[in-house]
Amino acid sequence: MFTLWVLLTTVGLVSCYILPDPQFSLSAKGGEFKSEDIPGLKNLYFIYKVNKGTELLRKAEKGADGIWRYVDALMENVDEVDYYSQGYLDGLIFGGSHQVWKRVPLATLPPRRMRGAVSFRDDFNGNHLDTNHWTVQVTATGEYHKEFQVYTNDHRNVYVKNGKLYIKPTLAVDSGHFTENDLYHGVLDVKKTWGTCTFSGNRGCYREAKDGLLPPLLSGRIDSKPTLKYGQVVVRAQIPRGDWIWPAIWMRPTNSPYGGWPQDGEIDFMEAACNEVAYWGKNDNHGIKRIHSTLHFGPDSAHDHHVSGEKVKEHGDWHEFHTYKMDWSPDHIIISVDDDVILKMTVADGTTLWNQYKFQGTNPWAHGNKIAPFDQQFHMILNVAIGGTYGMFNDKTHYAYPKPWHNTDKDPLKNFWEGRHNWLPTWHGDDVAMIVDYVEFRHM
């Protein structure tokens, strides 16, 4: 369908052109406007109102297929969109007819489609990480697992390239901040080196080598500023390959209404040990052939209950792009990879998480919903850790060579670093990075 548009210019000239009517659709990308091209069209703009709000003007881009497009990735709670187009031909401005898009009633939506609008999406299309969306953590804390890395804001550890986010571990001795001698005899002052320190716990801001080797690896962790309570979370990402690398896509509550961990809950979308060889049993390779998801919750720090699931590849491994998704409601949490369910937890009607798992003592979630503590705002965390003395790398697991450290060692970082002749040859370029294509939150 086409529109004839007549424009009287300021110099009294009248010109007639036929412009295609613009089209609008709402998808996982957000709100997408598009229009066919016509000869001589130099620029095209879409002018639109969402839910009869403020009028917006956005410039379209012409694709290789000859279609002009603009995607508003931040549209949320969209029920109606009024829109039209304007373009430049022969130095004059022309427009298409007004169009109105309205949400299709829920009953006509395809099964399993989330009816909520996109509340947050990052496609990492800029030249730098958008710090309006993410907080870059800078700390040597090592978390509770006493991992071997420092999280930095260095562009070699956290950066955006070709529409992808890279979180990449590097050697501290390659950073220009530390020499081999510094690791054994120097001082790590995180704030002095990187301009800030975001967490001081577990010696996160300052260390001296006299207390043990300084962390020999640098890496990245970012926390989302947008949050979500119920809906759908989707991450398309590729996990690293390389010995002792531990990537994670996970979520934690933004506040702490129930008293701390694990009372406040934790959602581990995806974790993996990225060694090519890591046998728990004779034929049970739990290295990069395996990914797993876990929900953590419990009445106190001594009673961490978890619901877990895993996927193991019989052929190949997980070092390629996959889509990790969580569907989250007041009744259930379902985590999947490429629409294949990894983990499902459902709270039955007439009960609560507390009663369903038969916890004893004082119920910290007594005033929460049935799925408490998973009834609050959570934010996303993306990180790549290395090693650690508690968590991913068990002393009893069979690896391709003897594990360089034991979890009970006095100085595990020193033993790990001095065993690098075995593990460093498994690290190859960007293969050691977790590469993220996009992150998306949708409300219910």
| Number of Cβ within a 10 Å radius of residue 150 | 30
- Which residues does residue 221 pair with via DSSP β-bridges, in sequence order? 383
Q: Do you know the residue count of the chain?
A: 444
Helix (H) or strand (E) holding 83: strand 80-89
- 121/26 Cα distance (integer angstroms): 14
- 211/128 Cα distance (integer angstroms): 37
Q: What are the Cα distances from residue 322, in Å, to 167, 350, 431, 435?
A: 16, 36, 15, 11
- 422/243 Cα distance (integer angstroms): 9
CATH placement of domain 2-103:
2.60.40.2140
- 303/93 Cα distance (integer angstroms): 67
Nearest in space to 241 (alpha carbons), one of 394, 425, 437: 425
The number of angstroms, rounded, from the C-alpha of 116 to the middle of its chain's C-alpha atoms is 19
What single DSSP character describes residue 211? Answer: G
**pLDDT by residue, tens only, the chain of 444 residues:** 333 333 333 333 333 345 777 888 877 677 888 888 888 888 889 999 988 888 888 999 988 878 889 988 777 678 889 888 888 777 677 777 778 888 754 333 344 444 579 999 999 998 999 999 999 999 999 877 899 999 999 999 999 999 999 999 999 999 999 999 999 999 999 999 999 999 999 899 999 999 999 999 999 999 999 999 999 999 999 999 999 999 999 999 999 999 999 999 999 999 999 999 998 776 677 899 999 999 999 999 888 899 999 999 988 899 999 999 999 999 999 999 999 999 999 999 999 999 999 999 999 999 999 999 999 999 999 999 999 998 789 999 999 999 999 999 999 999 999 999 999 999 999 999 999 999 999 998
| Beta-carbon-side half-sphere exposure of residue 318 (alpha carbons within 13 Å) | 32
CATH placement of domain 108-444:
2.60.120.200
pTM, 2 dp = 0.74
- Which residues does residue 236 pair with via DSSP β-bridges, in sequence order? 323, 438
Domain extents in the chain: 2-103, 108-444
Written in H, E and C, the secondary structure of 249-305 is: EEEEECCCCCCCCCCCCEEEEEECCCCCCEEEECCEECCCCEEEEEEEEEEECCEEE
